Amino acid sequence: MTPFKDLDPVLHSQLRLAIVSLLMNSDDAEFTAIKERTNASAGNLSVQINKLREAGYIDVLKEFKDNYPHTLCKITPEGKKAFHSYVKSLQSYLSVSGAINN
């Protein structure tokens, strides 16, 4: 039996993993804050947020504040579970190489 666990393809994208990592720390964040923290373009960030939303990992709340669009991303319980599972899977790769124990 292989010690390597499958890596979640939704989270295996650098930008999607960064988004979920940010949300794991604060539960929710505004689109503009995520954009600034990840240094992503608005278009690419929108696409990746949509993929996370479609997977059920985040909820996206859109509203207007002072006639400007306001988008809030919030991690879901399923997103938290997926993140923890992804981290455990990565740890299985690192433990085989001895990277965790060194």
Section 42-70 average pLDDT: 94
pTM over cut 0.85: yes
Query: pLDDT for 20-52, tens place per residue?
Result: 999 999 989 999 999 999 999 999 999 999 999
CATH 2.30.110.10 fits 14-96, yes or no: no
pLDDT tens by residue, 6-27: 899 999 999 999 999 999 999 8
Mean of pLDDT over the chain:
90
Asked if 81 and 89 touch (Cβ cutoff 8 Å), the reply is no
Sheet with 58-65: strands ordered across: 28-30, 68-75, 58-65
Q: Distance between CA atoms of 9 and 75, rounded to whole angstroms?
A: 17
